[in-house]
Structure 1
């Protein structure tokens, strides 16, 4: 067992867990961390996607009571069904567009210019959304979303296929611009992540199974475990944070990170091609 490889897997897991649910793009940070740690081969890319499952397990644990109640048809069967349908509606666009455009996006959009542009543009949009978000929200609670709201958030989630966009950032800020409260947008983003990231992880593991061997189990297990722990900490903190804070600090961080991407790419310090 390669101890150094396990340490690298743990560090990558921490990066994934801390960035997956913040509006700062886990993909961009994993590219940076993978380059610094020397995990840039095809197996490393599969690993990046697989450890998202650990982060999602943290969300499932945090919302375990809520999910259990919904599965049991509480508070009412109609309510539970409506919520499940909304999540399914929001999930479908990512499946369709992911299958249609996934290869093309990986082939053409994993470039320093695209990553930097989406980081900076996303930061500007967050700042604009926060300045615009001054009146009462149209949808205060996640249970009040309509199927139309769910579909719109699901379509917005597809923007995260472009590297550097941030799935959580797109869905939360997009939801807020549609009239969802900060809390409702954040919570629906978390629920929508469950089928989206688990589906993406399982699909990529199956598609790239020829790259994997039983000897990779310790590395993947460590990455999953650290992703789970760091995401659990991060999500619980974020839920408290959004109650009384804006996302502006994340916007400025995105803009600064975009500048870092441009500088490191210009001098050839980081391989931002993915």
Structure 2
């Protein structure tokens, strides 16, 4: 087990934890960071690691929102339990488009679109969209202020927006938050519903990656996976708290500008690397 590799895993866990929930593309950051630090593991394991590490991030949502998402809580009244079950029904409905399409085109996306140029383009495009949409939202009164206000139809439409995140660099949270706001959800409702959508999506994606890779882990690889997930979990707790506190007073335009700058950096970095190579 290498100390240097362990430090790299910690760095990747920190990056995953911060970027998974902010609408700035965890994939874009992970690709860029790995290009710089170079995790020295077989390519198949690295691809699987980049997805499975997200389990740590998603567990942060499960822990932080456990009461809200638990339909069997003894402290909830019957009406609250029904509302929670209804929320889960909407979450599952919203996940169906990505589950079906994602299974069909996962290999194609990984083969042809998992590169720096695609990531840079989507970072910039969605950065511009965040700024444009937030400018349009200046005087808008959102019809759906809370997650419970989201209808089944709106949930399905948000699920369709989630399909955009199959393109690397788009950001799952970015596409669902943008879509939810376009459909009339407040910033906090859009962010929370995006968090909840991540639970089945990431568990499913991680399960598929593990099945595809197989259980052929070495001892150090098991350690790296657990360490990466643990770091991502801890950092995610702070990232989620930060985002929910931030959007109570601000809009998402800052993240739009950040995406544009990061996209330009990614584009320049891979352009220079190609010229040197």
**TM-score (norm: length of structure 2):** 0.93
Matching residue within 201, 211, 227 for 1:206: 211
Deviation, structure 1 residue 270: 11
Number of aligned residue pairs: give it: 270
Distance 1:219 1:260 in 2: 28
Matching of residues 96-245 of structure 1 within 5 Å:
96-133=100-137, 134-209=139-214, 212-245=217-250
- 1:73-129 CA-partner distances (Å, limit 9, x unpaired): 844243222111101101111110111111111122123332111111000100011
Matching of residues 227-266 of structure 1 within 5 Å:
227-266=232-271
Kept in 2, the 8 Å contact 1:43–1:211? The answer is no
Runs of 4+ in 1 over 3 A off after TM superposition: 71-75
**TM-score (norm: length of structure 1):** 0.94
Unaligned runs of 5+ in 1: none
Distance 1:181 1:202 in 2: 32
Distance 2:275 2:123 in 1: 16
Indicate the larger mover: 18-27 or 204-213.
204-213
Structure 2 residue matching 1:268: 3-state secondary structure: helix
Distance 2:99 2:219 in 1: 29
Distance 1:35 1:212 in 2: 23
Give the aligned CA root-mean-square deviation in angstroms. 1.8
Structure 2 residue matching 1:179: 3-state secondary structure: coil
- 1:173-194 CA-partner distances (Å, limit 9, x unpaired): 1100110011110110011111
Kept in 1, the 8 Å contact 2:145–2:185? The answer is yes
Distance change in 2, residues 1:269/1:210 (3 Å): farther
Unaligned runs of 5+ in 2: none
Tell me what 1:71 maps to: 72
Tell me what 2:62 maps to: 60
